[in-house]
Structure 1
Amino acid sequence: MISKFINRQAELNLLQEEFKKAPSFVVLYGRRRIGKSRLIEEFTSGKDSFYFVFPDASKQIQMREFKKQASAYFADPYIEKLETDSWFDLFDYISRLLGKGKIVVLDEFSYAVKTDPRILSDLQRAWDRSMSKSGMMLIISGSLLGLMREEVLSSGSPLYGRRTRDILLEELRPWHALDFFKDREYGIMAYMLVGGVPSYLQVSARHKSLRQLVEREFLDQNGYFYREPYFLLAEELREPRNYFSILAAIASGNSTANGIANYVGMETRKIFPYLEQLSLLGFIERRVPLMVREKRGRYFIRENALVSWFNLCYRKASQIELGVASYDDEEMNEILGRGFERLALHYIPVLSPFEVDALGSWWHRDVEIDAAAVNRRLKKVLFLEAKWKELGYNEALGIIEKLKQKSSNFAWNRGRREEYFGILARNLERKKELIEKGYLVFDLRDLIRLPLPSAMPIQRSSPK
């Protein structure tokens, strides 16, 4: 359980709205350790709620625990004595004890579905017959993304059409992640390494430096992150070996389907079902260049922690097992450089001089721009390079001039648009002089001092 609760205000507001509109049926889902249970705990604090967590066990054990806890909560000894192997009987019975203002939470619901899929139709019948008429709020939560999407949210599910809201809980934004840390500069580097998963940030905040975090939690076989990907993939996938190989290929810099297939040793046409499944489960994402109609996208690992794991633990597995793995400054700067590019995409809506309605990375053949953002209506575009290094004045000017040359390949409204050019660096010399030249220049200190921006999703929209 995550002890520190950070932000999630938008999700809390949604839950509160559903509570006011009861009867309501909310499906909350997201990957493991993302903070679903902690969010529910925060929301139900001070409210009359029955909270049950399904154990990853047999149906018999699940039902025994449910009856025991329900009997205690409702102060009704009959529930524990009820002889039935039907979830409908239990749900229907407790619904008679519920009323306006009551909340029932079924956490880790995916474990129940995995054990006995009939619970879906049993819950549907109970909701239709009695729960929806009681004025209560029902929340079901699950961590197995594939199962939750296919069995709970899909149009083929018995529960389809019953939910009043579904919430996919995602990683915290970097500016909220910083609230875990006293040293905000270390916090932003930790975010670039492990991303916005609350429990990962909690672990990172226990350390005083990036070196200490990496040495103790990645490069040690007893470290928190050392076996983490194995647990995540094994839970979602029956045969994770091929999926693991594909992730390793992407982490090594192979981003096209053909390049990934060649790395893994598989025919390109056979790689697509694996890529699609990894995308559905949130492990990877397919990107296309901003404002370009492109069928052939590139594939990237979504989570910072997974990228870091493949570059630290996976590559150094033998050394770690022998206890001789060591921290390498050059290697870390390379990993942080990738994370810095992803960080830039989060901050562009705040750093941009105009309102952004689409943003992303851009490339054409061998020409690449780290981040670009546009306002379609105003025909404005910002091009930005992210450099995890200390830049001198002349070096920064050189990067901007090169960026201008690359931007000429960006076809959207070419010749009819207003252009802005910028740099985000770890540190910039003579920043004021660059700003006076009309460039947008920012460094790590600027990000740390920024007020909390409003949340904006990274959009990779098709051009209009």
Structure 2
Amino acid sequence: MKFYNREEELSELKRIQSLAFEENSRLTVVTGRRRIGKTSLIVKATEGMPTIYLFVGRKNETALINEFIPIIRQSLGVFVPEEIQTFRSLFQYIMELGTHQFFNLIIDEFQEFYNINKSVFSDMQNLWDQYRKHTKVNLIVSGSIYSLMHKIFQDEKEPLFGRADNILKLYPFKLSVLKEIMNDYLPKYTNDDLLALYTFTGGVPKYIELFCDNRALTVQEMIQFMVRDNSPFTDEGKNLLIEEFGKNYATYFSILGAMASSRNTQSEIETALGGISVGGYLKRLEEDYNVIARVRPILVKEGTQRVRFVIKDNFLQFWFKYIDRNRSYIEIKNFTALRKLIEDDYPTYTGKVLESYFKQKFAESFEFREIGSWWEAKGNQYELDIVALRIEKNKAVVAEVKRQRKEFKPELLESKVRHFKEKVMPKYKIEAICLSMEDM
């Protein structure tokens, strides 16, 4: 798959590169979930320039340095002594090189030093402070384990806190990019195909690339490609999260599994897990791991009991609901039954995902200042799929989302909006609409 999007990120990385080469060294941190395209972006931004690329595998430090030395020699055409055995010595040597030549230094999966030798971070801090003002090194570090990267660079107790000149977080592709990709690879795609791509990938580049490279871009082709023997998707959720969660991963997985099955309040999750208290786990999932979000009805103040928890990532939501939950099918290789289960559920499941799609579409239009949903404390008689506050004062859009427009009941929405306006937005001019797949 060709390189898509990331124009703003590319421009920023090239701007920083110019500053590093023309003035003095800069440190950029690139973060984002696994498969989001961090390495591809960094390589694209530095192509054509002298660049050292070092990947930090989980190995003994000396073995790692022995791998790095020939890479540096080849990348810059310089001599590097074999006697160097520690990353501290190697980093100092690299910074010395930066006193008389400019180059990019990319350190991928940087957080792995936390498992190899934690003192690397304080060593780097000391050397960076010593050399950065009189060297021309564009140092870019990237990492996929959110909690560790956040700790290393944004915890004030850590040695590298405050050393990054820029922290660049990568997000999934925008909807316009998904449409561009579908146009390139399947010009006659249907809106259902587009919705499936959004549902199964959430705009994560690596998953999209897998579908594109394997020419699996219709609803049925995507499901067939995901649910089969040796599928790259089978263990993906586990591979993404197990390092984040560590030894307590089973409890976190159970919580996420409950949430994927529409148990979205703390009490519902605790009931699903046999009554254990999950408050601390939910707090860490939200704040430390950035996997879930705490959602309140729009315009309701913090502290309300009307809180729902949602999995932020479309792929993980799908993986926990269908792949992890139905592991028994996979173990006995009954992929036919699992595919049928997903296909039968697909219309209902994607009806809810369609709400997220339109919320994202609203957000990307830059016409609104706040976007959310609304529901009452008890029951769901009056629940509104989307409530979006326009930039103009006292104007809002309320939307009912249906896969098929024929399922829409205008009189029911009118009743809900009338109640909502009286209770929450008496001064607002509200536009009530139905959104369906026709509007994608």
TM-score, with structure 2 as normaliser: 0.88
Please state how far the C-alpha of 1:57 moved relative to its aligned partner. Answer: 1.8
Q: Contact between 1:108 and 1:143, CA under 8 Å: does it hold in 2?
A: yes
Q: Residues of 2 paired with 1:337 and 1:358: CA distance?
A: 22
The residue aligned with 1:397 is 410
1:211 pairs, out of 220, 242, 258, with 220
Q: Residues of 1 paired with 2:177 and 2:41: CA distance?
A: 15
1:284 pairs, out of 274, 292, 315, with 292
Q: Residues of 2 paired with 1:238 and 1:119: CA distance?
A: 22
Q: SS of 2:368's equivalent?
A: coil
Please state how far the C-alpha of 1:67 moved relative to its aligned partner. Answer: 1.6
Cα 1:158–1:208 change in 2 (3 A) is closer
Point out where structure 1 has 5 or more consecutive residues left out of the alignment: 427-442, 448-464
Cα 1:397–1:250 change in 2 (3 A) is same
Letter in 1 for 2:97: L
Q: Contact between 2:368 and 2:390, CA under 8 Å: does it hold in 1?
A: yes
The residue aligned with 2:368 is 356
Letter in 1 for 2:358: A
Per-residue CA deviations over 1:106-145 (Å, capped at 9, x if unaligned) read 1111112321111101111121111342132111111111
Q: Residues of 2 paired with 1:286 and 1:36: CA distance?
A: 27
Please state how far the C-alpha of 1:351 moved relative to its aligned partner. Answer: 6.6
Q: Contact between 1:289 and 1:362, CA under 8 Å: does it hold in 2?
A: yes
The residue aligned with 2:308 is 298
The residue aligned with 1:21 is 19
Matches within 5 A, 1:8-47: 8-22=6-20, 23-47=25-49
Per-residue CA deviations over 1:437-458 (Å, capped at 9, x if unaligned) read xxxxxx2xx43xxxxxxxxxxx
The residue aligned with 2:82 is 81
Matches within 5 A, 1:203-282: 203-205=210-212, 206-217=215-226, 219-239=227-247, 240-268=249-277, 271-279=278-286, 280-282=288-290
Q: Contact between 1:26 and 1:139, CA under 8 Å: does it hold in 2?
A: yes
The residue aligned with 2:360 is 346
Paired positions, count: 416
Please state how far the C-alpha of 1:350 moved relative to its aligned partner. Answer: 5.9
Per-residue CA deviations over 1:377-427 (Å, capped at 9, x if unaligned) read 5111111111122426xx45245324424533651xx3221111111112x
Please state how far the C-alpha of 1:101 moved relative to its aligned partner. Answer: 4.5
How much identity, in percent, do the aligned residues show?
26
The residue aligned with 1:408 is 421
Cα 1:336–1:134 change in 2 (3 A) is same
Matches within 5 A, 1:26-425: 26-77=28-79, 79-85=80-86, 87-98=87-98, 99=100, 101-181=102-182, 182-183=185-186, 184-185=189-190, 186-205=193-212, 206-217=215-226, 219-239=227-247, 240-268=249-277, 271-279=278-286, 280-295=288-303, 296=305, 297-322=307-332, 323=334, 324-325=336-337, 326-328=339-341, 329-349=343-363, 355-365=367-377, 366=380, 367-375=382-390, 378-391=393-406, 395-408=408-421, 411=424, 414-425=425-436
Please state how far the C-alpha of 1:211 moved relative to its aligned partner. Answer: 1.5
Please state how far the C-alpha of 1:303 moved relative to its aligned partner. Answer: 1.1
Please state how far the C-alpha of 1:214 moved relative to its aligned partner. Answer: 1.2
Q: Residues of 2 paired with 1:308 and 1:300: CA distance?
A: 12
Per-residue CA deviations over 1:255-284 (Å, capped at 9, x if unaligned) read 11121111112433xx12211222232221
The structure richer in helix per residue is 2
Per-residue CA deviations over 1:329-374 (Å, capped at 9, x if unaligned) read 440112211210110101124679xx31111122222232111111
283-292 vs 185-194, which deviates more? Answer: 185-194
Q: SS of 2:254's equivalent?
A: helix
TM-score, with structure 1 as normaliser: 0.84
Q: Contact between 1:221 and 1:321, CA under 8 Å: does it hold in 2?
A: no
The residue aligned with 1:6 is 4
Per-residue CA deviations over 1:181-235 (Å, capped at 9, x if unaligned) read 2334323321123211101111223314212211331x32422211111111212
Q: Contact between 2:152 and 2:161, CA under 8 Å: does it hold in 1?
A: no
Q: Contact between 1:121 and 1:159, CA under 8 Å: does it hold in 2?
A: yes
Please state how far the C-alpha of 1:158 moved relative to its aligned partner. Answer: 0.7
Point out where structure 2 has 5 or more consecutive residues left out of the alignment: none
Q: Contact between 1:193 and 1:335, CA under 8 Å: does it hold in 2?
A: no
Cα 1:101–1:67 change in 2 (3 A) is closer
